[in-house]
Structure 1
Amino acid sequence: MAREIERKFLLTDDSWKASAYQQTDFAQGYLTPLQGVSKSSVRIRIEGDSANINIKSLEIGLSRDEYEYPIDLADAEKMLATLAVGPVIKKTRYLVKHGEHVWEIDEFFGDNAGLVVAEVEMRDEDEKVEMPVWVGTEVTHEARYYNISLSEYPYQSWNEDEKNKNF
């Protein structure tokens, strides 16, 4: 079984951009209903010129089950256009090496424009992570920052209090 262990953070500024060594455009949508009872999310993601289907357990926190398999790009494009529930999330992911870790920084567009979130994956939940100066408030346990939540309730729909709650 695959287990994803990661922490999520808001950023204090954009100084991380000077250290970004790779960027990839993403489009992703969910095939599972956003409302109601579900144990997992099923996501289609186009990542540059490749695509995959991803199944994650719906757990909020440091770790959750995750399975990911490559699929045909044309199939992914059709699924996003015809089967996705809610808006398709568009973002650019930047990779930034800091200390022993590679940080994934997602800059969102469209319905989630203005939101930038950093994630760092770890080998285990107790692993120490050297924090860059541009890392701000941790939002690992805030469901609204998860992509599936952003698909249902996009950042542009948040009021100013919700947007500033974690600063």
Structure 2
Amino acid sequence: MAREIERKFLVRNDDWRAVVQDRQHFRQGYLTDHRHGKASVRLRLRGEQAELNIKSLELGVSRQEYEYPIPATEAREMLDHLCPGPQVEKFRHWVHDSGHIWEVDEFLGDNSGLVVAEVELEREDQTVNRPHWLGPEVTHLERYYNVALITHPYRQWTVAEREAVDAG
């Protein structure tokens, strides 16, 4: 069984930008409504690469994940015609820091202003060396998951929702 093990954090400041290794634009949409199932089915387009991704709807560090490459032209068609509702757009930046490769997602559109860093791990109990630019951990908060940002984007969050973690 394929498992994704990752932790997710807010970003405290822009210091990470000085050590970005690469950056790419992502556009993704969901073929299923995550509120009525056990898994999300996502289409992701990044440049001329595309994937179909199926991920279990579990909160936490570890989830089932299956990913399959598909032609970019077919992904564009499905994103344009089969993905109900809004889509998530973001720039993903890859940053090598503190012994890890961090994926820093800078969201666009209705999620503009949200910047989240993720790190993939080999084990759930693996130690994470946290760079100084990381803020609070949000791994266990559903609203920070991409699938949740489709139905409740960052721009619609109340001040209380934003500060609930930012103060941590």
Q: Per the shorter chain, which TM-score range? A: over 0.9
The Cα of 1:130 is off from its aligned counterpart by 0.6
**What is the CA RMSD across the aligned residues, in angstroms?**
0.8
- Mapped contact 2:4–2:62 kept (Cα < 8 A): yes
The Cα of 1:62 is off from its aligned counterpart by 0.2
In structure 2, C-alpha distance between the alignment counterparts of 1:85 and 1:57, rounded to whole Å: 19
Note the 1:98-117 alignment, pairs <5 A.
98-117=97-116
The one-letter code sitting in structure 1 at the alignment partner of 2:21 is: Y
Note the 1:149-164 alignment, pairs <5 A.
149-164=148-163
Count residues with an aligned counterpart.
166
Q: Which of structure 1's runs of 4+ aligned residues deviate more than 3 A?
A: none
TM-score normalized by the length of structure 1:
0.97
- Mapped contact 1:6–1:119 kept (Cα < 8 A): yes
Identity over the aligned pairs, expressed in percent?
52
- Mapped contact 1:93–1:104 kept (Cα < 8 A): yes
Partner of 2:77: 78
The Cα of 1:35 is off from its aligned counterpart by 3.0
Partner of 2:9: 9
The one-letter code sitting in structure 1 at the alignment partner of 2:17 is: K
The Cα of 1:56 is off from its aligned counterpart by 0.3
In structure 2, C-alpha distance between the alignment counterparts of 1:142 and 1:60, rounded to whole Å: 7
In structure 2, C-alpha distance between the alignment counterparts of 1:133 and 1:166, rounded to whole Å: 17
Note the 1:28-107 alignment, pairs <5 A.
28-36=28-36, 38-107=37-106
Is 1:24 equivalent to 2:24 in the alignment?
yes
Structure 1 unaligned regions, length at least 5: none
In structure 2, C-alpha distance between the alignment counterparts of 1:85 and 1:139, rounded to whole Å: 27
TM-score normalized by the length of structure 2:
0.96
Structure 2 unaligned regions, length at least 5: none
Q: Deviations over 1:83-136 (max 9, x none)?
A: 112211000000001132100000000010000000001000011111000001
